[in-house]
């Protein structure tokens, strides 16, 4: 089992910067890449802010924050990943985009480099098949927000080697994550259960059974959920929820996974959640206000 020293992260969004954050605190040198310089700058700012909050809550020391931030480098060129031991892709949840990223990576990184995807629903075996090293390919599905959530789903593709699996488990342990093994089927474990529940909440809204606020209140107080399903959808991103439902519907051919038309409509409108300031709630004011 190879020792990992330098970790590459592709994507500086909420998942990518979170993975870079925890990897740097765990002592890895991190190279975070994105096609957008603005996204990289925003990602670094987010990491700094989140680490600062951890310091205030006595979760990490000020010295750990300073050292961790120094371990993170950024680049808008994928060529910056040529000296990495592990590359984790955390790009948008679109199969074609992920496949193109992995094809590009394989032209740059050395033969010993392991490849991982943070996909929340797409077949790990299928993504691995476009690479030159399917045996060194694995799914590492982190939960959002990465610095706070303890779980990492580990998904082996059909060709994933035992060495790659053990390397992933050791990496997760160093990040202080608890792992759960999931088979390579659409949406794995967490999202196979969670996102259809969110989709059903959207159907409940669509059919007029309840309002945004009443649905969220019902599930918070009636099922003891920490946040309502429509609030959670906004945090995940409605576009991501829709992508996962489409993967489930296409992969399992069961009508119970049909995306709610209202979810589709919100995504078409660009109202995809908190990251853009509007989803099932409008976040432009002091307090979130339901948009329906």
Beta-strand pair 86-89/6-10: parallel
Mean pLDDT, the chain, integer? 96
How distant, in Å, are the alpha carbons of 47, 48, 198 from that of 189?
28, 31, 15
Residue 66 in contact with residue 38, Cβ under 8 Å?
no
Do 6-182 and 192-290 come out as alike in CATH topology? Answer: no
Q: Domain-by-domain residue ranges, the chain? A: 6-182, 192-290
pLDDT category, 44, cuts 50, 70, 90? very high
Q: For the chain, give me the number of helices (H) and strands (E)?
A: 11, 10
Is 191 a catalytic site residue? yes
Residue 1: the pLDDT is 63
What average pLDDT does the segment 50-65 reach? 96
Residue in the block written with tokens 């969110």: 198
How distant, in Å, are the alpha carbons of 100, 165, 255 from that of 125?
15, 14, 24
Q: Which tokens sit at 152?
A: 């990492």
Residue in the block written with tokens 């209140």: 217
Residue 268 in contact with residue 279, Cβ under 8 Å?
no
Residue 241: the pLDDT is 95
pLDDT category, 3, cuts 50, 70, 90? confident
Catalytic residue among 50, 120, 121, 123: 120
The residues, ordered by sequence, that sit 6+ positions from 147 with a Cβ below 8 Å of its Cβ are 18, 21, 22, 50, 54
Catalytic residue among 153, 199, 243, 249: 153
The predicted model scores a pTM of 0.90
pLDDT at residue 2 greater than cutoff 90: no
Beta-strand pair 29-33/72-75: parallel
pLDDT at residue 222 greater than cutoff 90: yes
Q: What is the DSSP string of 165-218?
A: HHHHHHHHHHTTPEEEEE-SSTTTTHHHHHHHHHHHHHHHHHTTSS-HHHHHHH
CATH number for the region 192-290 comes to 1.10.1040.10
Catalytic residue among 17, 141, 243, 249: 141
Is 118 a catalytic site residue? no
User: Which CATH superfamily groups domain 6-182?
Assistant: NAD(P)-binding Rossmann-like Domain (3.40.50.720)
pLDDT at residue 90 greater than cutoff 90: yes
What is the strand order of the sheet 86-89 is part of? Answer: 72-75, 29-33, 6-10, 86-89, 114-117, 137-142, 151-156, 178-182
Is 144 a catalytic site residue? no
How distant, in Å, are the alpha carbons of 233, 239, 242, 243 from that of 228?
9, 18, 18, 20
What average pLDDT does the segment 8-28 reach? 97
Q: Which tokens sit at 70?
A: 């120094």
Is 141 a catalytic site residue? yes
């Amino acid at each position: 089992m190879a020792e990992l020293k330098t970790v590459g992260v592709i994507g500086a969004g909420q998942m990518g910067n979170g993975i870079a954050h925890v990897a740097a605190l765990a002592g890895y040198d991190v190279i975070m890449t994105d096609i957008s310089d603005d996204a990289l700058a925003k990602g670094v700012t987010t990491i700094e802010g989140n680490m600062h909050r951890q310091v205030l809550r006595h979760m990490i020391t000020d010295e750990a924050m300073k050292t961790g931030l120094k371990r993170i480098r950024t680049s808008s060129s994928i060529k910056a990943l040529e000296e990495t031991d592990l590359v984790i892709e955390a790009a948008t949840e679109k199969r074609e985009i992920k496949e193109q990223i992995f094809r590009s990576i394989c032209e740059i990184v050395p033969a010993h480099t392991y490849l991982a995807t943070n996909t929340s629903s797409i077949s790990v075996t299928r993504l691995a098949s476009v690479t030159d090293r399917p045996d060194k390919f694995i799914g590492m599905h982190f939960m959002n927000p990465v610095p706070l959530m303890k779980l990492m789903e580990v998904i082996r593709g059909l060709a994933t080697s035992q060495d790659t699996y053990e390397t992933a488990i050791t990496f997760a342990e160093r990040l202080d994550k608890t792992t759960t093994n999931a088979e390579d089927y659409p949406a794995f474990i967490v999202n196979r259960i969670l996102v259809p529940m969110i989709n059903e909440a959207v159907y409940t809204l669509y059919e007029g059974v309840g309002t945004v606020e009443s649905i969220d209140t019902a599930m918070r107080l009636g099922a003891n959920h920490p946040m309502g399903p429509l609030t959670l959808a906004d945090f995940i991103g409605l576009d991501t929820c829709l992508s996962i439902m489409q993967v489930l519907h296409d992969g399992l051919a069961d009508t119970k996974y049909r995306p709610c038309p209202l979810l589709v409509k919100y995504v078409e409108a660009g109202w995809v959640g908190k990251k853009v300031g509007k989803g099932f709630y409008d976040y432009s004011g002091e307090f979130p206000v339901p948009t329906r």
